[in-house]
Structure 1
Amino acid sequence: MTCNFWPERALAASVIMLSCSTALAGDAAEDGAPGWNLSGFATLAAAHSNNHQADFTANALSPGDAGYSRAWSAQVDSRLGAQLDLRFDSRWSAVLQMVAERGPRDGYSPVLEWANLQYQATPDLSLRVGRITLPLFISGDYRKAGYALPWVRPPVEMYGAVPLSSSDGADASYRWQGGGMHHVTQVFFGCTTIPASRTARARAHALTGLSNTATSGALTLRASLLRAHLSVDIGRELFDGLRGFGAQGGALADRYELEHKHALVAAAGFSYDPGRWFAIGEIGRLNTASFLGDKTVGYLSAGYRYRDLTPYLVYSSSRANVATRVAGLELDRLPAQQVAAGASLNGGLNQLLAAIPRQHTVSAGVRWDLRPDYALKLQYDRIMPHQGSNGTFINVQPGFRSGQPVAVLSVALDMVF
C-alpha cells in the first residue's frame, strides 16, 4: 500500500460540492445552520539544559537544541496553530488545522495537522475521511495546544515514544452507554509519511487501530491499540555494510533494520479532574522489532488549583524491554583485514541501540492563569538516563555520560485566540 492520499484536495472538493448542495437543500440547513469558526493557539517558550554534551528535545520529529547546541532554546516547545471549523448542515462538517513548529529539517513551515470531512450518520455514529488525529493518548487530541495542558509539554517519555499525531485515512466513532459510563469507541485505518530527520523519512502503512474512551463525571478512561507496517530510512549504510559480512551480518541487519516491520502500540490511561485538583496517568508499550526497540513507557501526574495558580508534579519513565548493547559481529571469526570495518559496524549498531530510552524524569512546575486565554508556566525537569542509554536526548556527543542527572528549566506562555 502506498500513502498517496491528499486530504487537502479531498477537503477542498468536498467543501465546494457540499456548499452547493447546502445552498440547494434549504430544509436540511434548517436542522443545523451552516457556519464557520476560525481559532488559533500559540506557545512562546524557552528551555535550558545544563548538559553540554547532548540536546534536550520534546520528540524526535520536533528536534530541540537546548544543551549542546545552545544554552537556551526557543525551538523545543514554541509553535503556532490555526484551526478552521466548517459546518454545512446538521450532518456534514469539516475541520482544517495548520501548525508551525520546529521540524526535523530546521524549518518552521506550516504543516497540515488535520484536514477531514465528517458525516454524522446517526446521533451516535460519525464517519470521517482525511487527515485525522490518532486517538492514542489521553491528551492526543490537543497535545500541541499547550494552553489545554497543565504542563509545559506532555511527558517526553510517553508522548515522544510515538511522535505521530495524525494519519491520512478514515475512521468511525460510535457513542454508547454501558457500566454507568458514556463510551466513544473509534476504529481507524490510514497511513502517513513524514520527515524523520534532515535526510530520512518515516512511513507507516496499513495503520489500523481501535480506541475506547469512557467518561463518568470527572473521570475519563482511554484504552487504545494500533498496528502498522513501519519503515524509516535511518542507518541504511550501516545495514548494507552488515550484509556484506555474510550470514551473521545479514541476520543482524534483518533483526534491527526498520524496513516493513510490524509495529504495535498499546496504551491505557486515566484522567480525574473534579475541579480543585487533578490526577493523570498513562502507560503504554511500543514494539517495532527493530533498532527502535521494544519499550514500556508511562507517567503519573497530579496538581492542585489555588486561585490562578496550579502547582503540579510529574513522574515519567521509559524502560527498554530489549538489550541496548549487543556483541554484534563476531570479530574473531573475521579475516584480519575486515576486523576494523567489523568493529566500526558494531559501534554504529550499538550507537543506534543506545538511543532506545532507558530513563526516568521527575518534574515540578507551576501554571499561572494570568488572564483569560493566557497561561504562564514554569517547569523544572530532573532527567536521569541510565544503563548506558542516551535517554531521549539527541545530538549526543562523545562526552555524554549515562547515569548522570540532567536539569532542564523551561518557561512557556500559552495562549488561545
Structure 2
Amino acid sequence: MTFDFSPQRAALASLAFTLTMLACAVAQADDGAAAPRWTFGGYGTLGFVHSNDSQSDFTGNVLNPGNAGASHEWSATVDSRVGMQLGLNLDSHWSAVLQLVSERTLQSGYAPMVEWANVKYQATPDLSLRVGRIALPLFLAGDYRKAGYALPWVRPPVEVYGAIPISNSDGVDASYRWSAAGINNVTQFFFGHTDVTVTPQAHAEARAMTGLSNTTTSGALTVRASAMSTELTLKLARELFAGLNQFGPQGVALAARYDVDAKRADVVSLGASYDPGAWFLMGEVGRMNARSYLGDKTAAYVSGGYRYGDLTPYLSYAVSRANMPTRIAGLDLRGLPPQLAGAGAQLNAGLNQMLDTIPQQRSITAGIRWDLRANYAVKLQYDRLTPQQGSNGTFINVQPGFQSGHPISVMSASVDFVF
C-alpha cells in the first residue's frame, strides 16, 4: 500500500507550501519587517532485517512493507528511509513546515512522499492552529514514529503501531497548552481525511477523521491519551462481497457485516513513559474497531531499558488480541445444489482467509542501542514473534505452508542518524 495523492490531496500540500512562499515574499517586500528564518534538517535509517520463516514476510508497517523472509533471507527495505524537513518562521505568529520521506512502498519504490506540509498560526502563546498535512497524534511516538534516532528500538512495536499504519491526515488541528497544579498539558483537536491506494484496483478512504489527544508531562513522566473516529471505505475483495450478496438474505447480512463500506472505525489509545535519564520504562495500550473484516482488536506493549554510558540495552513484550471471532461458519450451504454449494464454500473460505489477517500475536524483544557519536546510533535487535489462534499475526505475503502458533525469529540491525 502507498499513499495516493489525488489531485485534491496534492493540491492541499502544494497550497500549504505556496502560501509559505507567498508569505515569505510579502515579508521580504516589507522593508520594516524582520527577515524570515529558514531551517533545514532531516533524519534517516539504514537497516537490515533477517527472518527465519520462509513462508511469510516480516514488515513493520503494511503501508511500507519489507520483504524479509519468504521473499529474501535479508532485506534492507523494512526500516530503511530518509526524511528531509524544511521549516520557515515568518514572525512570532506564522510558520510553515514541509517534510518529505523516502521509504519502501508497494507501488512507488523509494519515491519521496509528502509526510507533512502545513501552515501554522500561533494565535496566542498557548493556542496554535494548523492547516495542511499534519501528523496524527496517536500513540506516544505518533509525531516521530519514522525518525528512528528518536526511538529506543529499531522500530516501534509492530503489534501497536502497525495496527494504525497511517501517520498523517489532510485537514486542520488546534492545540492548546495549559497547566494545573504544576502539571503541563497540551490538548489537540484534529479533523481531516486521507486516501490510500492498496493496489491499482483497490482504494481506501478515511473520511471525517475526528480526534482528540491530550499529552500530560510532569517531570520525567509523559502520558498521552488519544481518541479518533472516522468513516472508512476500502474497495478490496469486491468479487468476494459481490458473491456473498448473491446468496440471498444470509449472504447480504454477511457482506454488510464484514465489508469495509462507509464503516465507522474508532481508535482509542493510552500510553505512558517515565524517563529520568539513567533508565526508561514505557507502555501503551490501544483498541481499534473497524466494524468489518479489518477487525476489532486490542494491542499493547511494555518496554524498558537502562543506560550505561553510550549503551542502552532494552527489553519489550507486546501482544495483539482480537475482540471478535476470527473464524465463522459463513453461509449455510445445506440443501443447496452441488455447484452452488461449491461456490458458497469458496466464499466462506475466502472470508475466513481475510479474518485470519486480524493480528493475534505476542512477541518478546531484546536489543541494544549504541550512541556511536553525536547524532548517530547503532542498534541490534532480536524479536521472537508468535502468531496465535490461526492468525497470520503481523506477517504479510503468507504462503500456504505458514504455521500459526510457530515462533518466528527476526534479527535487525540499523544505523540511525539526524542532521
**Fold agreement, TM-score > 0.5:** yes
How far, CA to CA, are the matches of 2:179 and 2:32 in structure 1?
31
* SS of structure 2 residue aligned to 1:349: helix
Indicate how the Cα distance of structure 1 residues 151 and 199 shifts in structure 2: closer, same or farther if over 3 A, else same: farther
Q: Structure 1 residue aligned with 2:91, among 89, 93, 110?
A: 89
Instruction: Give yes or no for contact 1:61–1:197 (8 Å, CA) kept in 2.
Output: no
% identity of equivalent residues? 59
How far, CA to CA, are the matches of 1:400 and 1:9 in structure 2?
44
Kindly provide the amino acid, as one letter, of the partner of residue 178 in structure 1.
A
Per-residue deviation at 1:197?
Answer: 4.0
Kindly provide the amino acid, as one letter, of the partner of residue 19 in structure 1.
C
How far, CA to CA, are the matches of 2:320 and 2:32 in structure 1?
55
Per-residue deviation at 1:410?
Answer: 0.5
For 1:283, the equivalent position in structure 2 comes to: 285
For 2:16, the equivalent position in structure 1 comes to: 11
How far, CA to CA, are the matches of 2:415 and 2:201 in structure 1?
32
1:21 aligns with 2:23: no
Matches within 5 A, 1:40-59: 40-59=42-61
Q: TM-score, normalised by structure 2?
A: 0.96
Instruction: Give yes or no for contact 1:191–1:205 (8 Å, CA) kept in 2.
Output: yes
For 2:3, the equivalent position in structure 1 comes to: none
How far, CA to CA, are the matches of 1:37 and 1:16 in structure 2?
14
How far, CA to CA, are the matches of 2:172 and 2:221 in structure 1?
28
How far, CA to CA, are the matches of 2:311 and 2:266 in structure 1?
39
Q: Structure 2 residue aligned with 1:390, among 362, 372, 392?
A: 392
For 2:308, the equivalent position in structure 1 comes to: 306
Instruction: Give yes or no for contact 1:301–1:314 (8 Å, CA) kept in 2.
Output: yes
How far, CA to CA, are the matches of 2:326 and 2:29 in structure 1?
63
Task: Spell out, residue by residue over 1:377-409, the C-alpha distance to the aligned partner (whole angstroms, 9 max, x if none).
Answer: 000000011111110111111111111100000
Per-residue deviation at 1:24?
Answer: 4.7
Kindly provide the amino acid, as one letter, of the partner of residue 137 in structure 1.
F
Kindly provide the amino acid, as one letter, of the partner of residue 385 in structure 1.
P
For 2:174, the equivalent position in structure 1 comes to: 172
How far, CA to CA, are the matches of 1:28 and 1:170 in structure 2?
28
Kindly provide the amino acid, as one letter, of the partner of residue 185 in structure 1.
T
Task: Spell out, residue by residue over 1:186-218, the C-alpha distance to the aligned partner (whole angstroms, 9 max, x if none).
Answer: 001000002234542221001100000010111
Per-residue deviation at 1:360?
Answer: 0.6
Task: Spell out, residue by residue over 1:156-214, the C-alpha distance to the aligned partner (whole angstroms, 9 max, x if none).
Answer: 00000000100000000000002421100000100000223454222100110000001
How far, CA to CA, are the matches of 2:318 and 2:408 in structure 1?
14
How far, CA to CA, are the matches of 2:330 and 2:79 in structure 1?
37
For 2:66, the equivalent position in structure 1 comes to: 64
Matches within 5 A, 1:251-290: 251-290=253-292
Per-residue deviation at 1:245?
Answer: 1.2
Task: Spell out, residue by residue over 1:44-100, the C-alpha distance to the aligned partner (whole angstroms, 9 max, x if none).
Answer: 111111111111110110111111111011111111110001111111000000001
1:315 aligns with 2:317: yes
Task: Spell out, residue by residue over 1:316-346, the C-alpha distance to the aligned partner (whole angstroms, 9 max, x if none).
Answer: 1100000111111111142222111111111
Indicate how the Cα distance of structure 1 residues 200 and 60 shifts in structure 2: closer, same or farther if over 3 A, else same: same
* SS of structure 2 residue aligned to 1:258: coil
Instruction: Give yes or no for contact 1:184–1:213 (8 Å, CA) kept in 2.
Output: yes
How far, CA to CA, are the matches of 2:80 and 2:336 in structure 1?
50
Q: Structure 2 residue aligned with 1:152, among 138, 141, 154?
A: 154
Q: Structure 2 residue aligned with 1:405, among 391, 396, 407?
A: 407
Q: TM-score, normalised by structure 1?
A: 0.96
* SS of structure 2 residue aligned to 1:356: coil
How far, CA to CA, are the matches of 2:40 and 2:84 in structure 1?
7
Task: Spell out, residue by residue over 1:209-255, the C-alpha distance to the aligned partner (whole angstroms, 9 max, x if none).
Answer: 00000101111110000000011122111111111111111111110
Task: Spell out, residue by residue over 1:338-386, the C-alpha distance to the aligned partner (whole angstroms, 9 max, x if none).
Answer: 1111111111000000000010100000001111111110000000111
Indicate how the Cα distance of structure 1 residues 251 and 66 shifts in structure 2: closer, same or farther if over 3 A, else same: same
Indicate how the Cα distance of structure 1 residues 328 and 107 shifts in structure 2: closer, same or farther if over 3 A, else same: same
How far, CA to CA, are the matches of 2:157 and 2:204 in structure 1?
22
Indicate how the Cα distance of structure 1 residues 287 and 300 shifts in structure 2: closer, same or farther if over 3 A, else same: same
How far, CA to CA, are the matches of 1:214 and 1:400 in structure 2?
43
For 2:186, the equivalent position in structure 1 comes to: 184
Alpha-carbon RMSD across the aligned residues, in angstroms, is 1.4
After TM superposition, the structure 1 stretch with the greater mean CA deviation from structure 2, 231-240 or 141-150, is 231-240
Per-residue deviation at 1:106?
Answer: 5.6
How far, CA to CA, are the matches of 2:71 and 2:322 in structure 1?
27
For 2:144, the equivalent position in structure 1 comes to: 142
Indicate how the Cα distance of structure 1 residues 123 and 25 shifts in structure 2: closer, same or farther if over 3 A, else same: farther
Name stretches of at least 5 consecutive residues in structure 1 with no aligned partner. none
Matches within 5 A, 1:188-207: 188-197=190-199, 199-207=201-209
How far, CA to CA, are the matches of 2:251 and 2:228 in structure 1?
31
